[in-house]
Copies of this chain bind each other. A is one copy, B any other.
Amino acid sequence: MHTIGIDLGGTNLRIGVFNEQGEIINEQSQPTEAAKGPQYVINQMAEIINQLKATYKIKAIGIGSPGPLNPHDGIIIEPPNLPGWVNIPIVQLLEEKISLPVKLENDANAAALAEATLGAGKGASSVFFITVSTGIGGGYVLNGELVSGAQGSCGEIGNMIVNPSPDAYHGPGLNKGALEGLASGTAIGRIGKERLNITNGAQGVFHLAEQGNKEAQAILDEAINYLAIGLANIVHTVNPEIIVIGGGVMKSKHLIVEPLIEKTKGYLYPSLKEDFVLKPALLDQKAGLIGAGLLPK
């Protein structure tokens, strides 16, 4: 029996067929065309799935989608990355068209499940995954099971407050002083523009830092410090065996991982320092799709 995983992105719709080992045996990708509305996109999904059903014995479908969404009710609430998609009961709508059970999770949770099951967290009893990219998200896998959270919002650490100062940056849709506003790729790019007039985003800051530019390095150090506060807060909250960090910013992981580990250890109780483990994600762009394929049991 196989599963189908769907990575419903704002830009691309990726669909994979998975064998029982979680390996992709068939993969396709096309533009999501989200602007044509949910009904159009759901019809596209259903058509592809019904074609695949002719070739593979499919038992269930998993969808990783941008949040907020409610995984328990199968409803996409109102994701910034899918403009106009408001309260879409995607699970019900798709199930009606394909006559197979469908499971919905937010994309970061799906990626967390993939990294914990087949990626950098494989074998650990508890894994907290964090993705640092345009935004910051995450997911928590305990004893091999994804922890969704009561409203499906486990791992929404981008909105964790790490600086309550009235002067802290207040990003759109976030708390003032939220981690995402201070340490995401977008944040690094924004600060690079403010302080160094860099116009090519976080990449530009990383590039300058690598060349020895001290102001660029300072921007990076600040972001790493906020990430370390976020990771230490996660450790003191759920004490996972391992934290896995992925996302676009990790393209520059040689500039991030070691200082981030050191800085985080500095914020941990002495009894927790020695066993602190942070690893870069292994599955990269594929994590969301693989996780979607793993969602159905």
Q: Which residues of A contact B (CB under 8 A)?
A: 68, 77-78, 125-126, 140, 142, 147-165, 175, 225-226, 229, 232-242, 267-269, 271-272, 275
CB distance from A207 to the nearest CB of B (A): 27
Indicate if the CB atoms of A156 and B68 lie closer than 8 Å.
no
Indicate if the CB atoms of B175 and A267 lie closer than 8 Å.
yes
CB distance from A147 to the nearest CB of B (A): 7
Indicate if the CB atoms of A156 and B229 lie closer than 8 Å.
no
CB distance from A120 to the nearest CB of B (A): 15
Residues of B within 8 A of A162 (CB): 161, 164
State in angstroms the CA–CA spacing of A281 and B199 once bound together. Answer: 52
A269 touching B159 in the complex, CB below 8 Å, given contacts A150-B125, A238-B154: yes
Residues of B within 8 A of A240 (CB): 149-150
Residues of B within 8 A of A238 (CB): 140, 147, 149, 154-155, 237-238
State in angstroms the CA–CA spacing of A271 and B154 once bound together. Answer: 12
State in angstroms the CA–CA spacing of A156 and B165 once bound together. Answer: 23
Copy tally for this chain in the complex stands at 2
State in angstroms the CA–CA spacing of A125 and B152 once bound together. Answer: 13
Residues of B within 8 A of A163 (CB): 163-165
State in angstroms the CA–CA spacing of A189 and B163 once bound together. Answer: 24
A267 touching B126 in the complex, CB below 8 Å, given contacts A149-B238, A238-B149: no
CB distance from A222 to the nearest CB of B (A): 10
Beyond A140-B237, A140-B238, list 6 extra A-B contacts (CB 8 Å).
A125-B150, A154-B237, A155-B239, A159-B269, A162-B164, A233-B233
3 closest A-B pairs by beta carbon, nearest first, are A149-B239, A150-B241, A68-B271
State in angstroms the CA–CA spacing of A155 and B236 once bound together. Answer: 6
Indicate if the CB atoms of A153 and B269 lie closer than 8 Å.
yes
Most B-side CB within 10 Å, residue of A153, A225, A232, A237: A237
Indicate if the CB atoms of B272 and A161 lie closer than 8 Å.
no
State in angstroms the CA–CA spacing of A8 and B158 once bound together. Answer: 38
Indicate if the CB atoms of A239 and B154 lie closer than 8 Å.
yes
Indicate if the CB atoms of B239 and A152 lie closer than 8 Å.
yes
CB distance from A236 to the nearest CB of B (A): 4
CB distance from A112 to the nearest CB of B (A): 12
Residues of B within 8 A of A156 (CB): 236-237, 239, 269
**Whose C-beta in chain B lies nearest to the C-beta of A152?**
B239
CB distance from A227 to the nearest CB of B (A): 12
CB distance from A113 to the nearest CB of B (A): 15
